[in-house]
Amino acid sequence: MNDFLIRGALADVDPGVAELIQHEHARQLDKLIMIASESYVPAAVREAEGSVFQNIYAEGYPHADMHGMSEAEILDYESQLAFYRRNGDRRYYKGVEYCNLIEALAQRRGAEVFCPPGMTPEQLFVNVQPLSGAVANAAIYEALVQPGDTVMTLDLLHGGHLSHGSPVNVTGYRQRIVHYRVNEETELLDYEEIYELAQREKPKMIIAGYTSYPWAPDFHKFRAIADSVGAYLLADIAHTAGMAAAGVYPNPVGVAHVTSFTTHKTMMGPRGAVIITTDPELAKRIDRAVFPGLQGGPNVNKIAGMAVMFKLAKTLQFKALQQQIARNAVALSDGLKANGLRVVHGGTNTHMVLLDCKSIAQHDGVPLMGNVASRILDLIGIVCNRNTIPGDKDAGRPSALRFGTPWVTQRGLKEDDMREIADVIARVLKTARPHTIPTKKSVAYTARVDFDALMESVARIGALVAKAGRDFDLPREGYPFVWHAANGQAPGGGDRESAKPITVCGAQAATFLSVVLGTDASALDDGAKVTVLGRNRAPLCAATLTRVDDGYALNVPMDKAPHVAQWLRALSDGYVIFDEADVGIHIPGPVIVRL
């Protein structure tokens, strides 16, 4: 070759990154991901996002005359290229004729998806350039309010978002933020209280739309409250845009002055954001706030992904998916309640459910907290996030978990599966023994659970994973670090007469083994006979201990090896009970356990 183009597949050019991607893909398919702000992006969207549109710089916007064009008009290449050559556009760069078309196409399709009854897509102004939901909201602040103006939002601890005026976010220190909250008794929005607060504070903008409040707001009531004080209404449907597009959630377009949403949650698109308004003057101000106000050139490849995303959002399959997402969330909520757990806000009619961990387990007056509960569930194959709820004092110590149903629904799981998930969550977390660990400034909340309950839960979630649809089948060894009930099983179930080595290595291997053997491992001779201690320090398995290059080898009976390896890994992770009499006993680690 006489050029300087770098060729070759990723696996050839950078095998390290290629392997990381394989591990991540397998992780996503080998666990039940219930992060409410995540979904599995269709391959067609990912293909568009990985296209050569990545290579283009396109500061600015398509020609204003492209607004309102139909899809057929936008894709009339001869007419569009002739128009471009004669009239140009609002870009700072040339070579963007096809960028104009892909952006106009995404805008048109977005207008069609969110066009409310009684309006036409031509009446909607759609900006698809914001790089994230936080940037989109910051741009709306820039466009609609001045520094020092009052903005009214839901308190972060009650379900609001950082970009709704948190003091650590730019939206929180340029404007005067006042928070409305959920009613203390019902944990629901109280529109009379919100109205009274608006009358007292006279905000210039009110935000309706939330990151962890699981009920759909009444946008018409919010608009009436905003109108009563001359405020703008911003509807942030970042989480629920896909549901709104499918008619499963109220569509605020045409009710709110401005609507914003991200495209990578229930929309199942690329990571970006959209702003929609029906006011042409506000549209101009918003466009200027996005560019050049807050960002430079847009990610045109992501806009291409959005165009595909909006096309998929118009399909019957997408609508059926969103309906099932809502049904699954209700089933999950009901399943948790049936197990005696407290669902925050009383339930859901969206895609998310919040669980109060404090109500699940306490030990010596110490409650179970969200952070450690999320770590324990991650070990069994349920991925969720810690979250604040009403009553929490600060975001650093949230006492709840937030679950979302988009991803598991995409993979084909339904109501009965949600109830099974709820049962598993209750089974393992009810065995938790919370305690605290001293830190330099205060204490950290942690907990340990019953090992048998953990392993049972691993098996039950593994069965659901096996049932769920897969994008394509990856070999189990593609991601060897997921807990599977069958990990390390010897062919044919093992042999009592033979031994299988379990390698324990890492900087703390000796001190770790000293705890689980009840003797100083570093002082033992090679081949020493030892006993692996189980829960309550009872004998678990006879073994011999030998030093190896990177640690120690425990030679245990073949039929015991998988169980012992799982036990050692669980102790290393730090979330299983080793001694009921001393739940907080220090287990050195982490270590690497190989079987």
Q: Active-site residue numbers?
A: 57, 59, 236, 262, 265, 271
SS (H, E, C) 527-569: CEEEEEECHHHCEEEEEEEEEECCEEEEEEEHHHHHHHHHHHH
How far does Cα 338 stand from its chain's mean position? 25
**In this structure, what token pair is assigned to residue 35?**
């992060």
CB 408 within 8 A of CB 33: yes
388 — alpha (psi -120 to 50), left (phi > 0) or beta? beta
The sign of the dihedral angle between the CA atoms of 380, 382, 385, 388 is negative
End-to-end CA distance of the chain: 48
- Give 403's strand partners: 353
Q: Which amino acid is at 486?
A: A
Cis preceding linkage at 292, omega within 30: yes
What is the C-alpha separation between 400 and 336, in angstroms, rounded? 13
SS (H, E, C) 104-158: HHHHHHHHHHHCCCCCCHHHCEEECCCCCHHHHHHHHHHHHCCCCCEEEEECHHH
The closest alpha carbon to 425, from 492, 335, 351, 487, belongs to 335
Q: Helix or strand or coil: residue 508?
A: coil
The closest alpha carbon to 518, from 545, 558, 499, belongs to 545
The closest alpha carbon to 244, from 213, 265, 229, belongs to 265
